[in-house]
Structure 1
């Protein structure tokens, strides 16, 4: 697939979605456009970018998807890892 370069706007780097919006702006836009199906639409965009070989765009959409999941309460914002002493015995 062809890569589009724009020396004037991006200093010779390929233009990606990161040049035009932040993931939080894309979250708001996805919710406005797709409502309760925003996560599905964004996941579709991420898979499309990934399989088209557009890794920077994939990472953008994955960041948007992650923020949507946290916003929906379906993904924890941080994962607590317990110290070894708090885990308890592995064999009872």
Structure 2
């Protein structure tokens, strides 16, 4: 009979990491929902925290999230501020 991941963890096997709870793409969506345009900064901070705490697997997870967020930022065109009709003053060139 095959042993489940949680049985390995309970038996003192592999440590529990973020990879057990979700995928980096799910974390990307959550980070964007929570932090908006600062999502890649939040992921980088989490990666550094994990690295310096000696949690290499969690570092790899957050670095993957950070990399995916940065790729999204490069793929999206820069946002331009829309001018509202009630803005005062001449339009910027």
- Between Structure 1 and Structure 2, how many residues are aligned? 68
For the aligned residues, what is the CA RMSD? 1.7
Deviating above 3 A after TM superposition, structure 1's stretches of 4 or more consecutive aligned residues are none
- Higher Cα Rg, which structure: 2
Q: What is the match of residue 52 of structure 1?
A: 53
Name stretches of at least 5 consecutive residues in structure 1 with no aligned partner. 1-6, 75-92
- Alignment match, 2:30: 29
Unaligned runs of 5+ in 2: 76-93
- How far apart in 2 are the matches of 1:10 and 1:73? 41
Paired residues for 1:44-83 under 5 Å: 44-73=45-74
TM-score (norm 1): 0.69
Structure 1 residues 21, 69: closer, same or farther in 2, change over 3 A?
same
Distance in 1, matches of 2:46 and 2:25, equals: 16
Tell me which residue corresponds to 1:4: none
Change (3 A) 1:10 1:42: farther
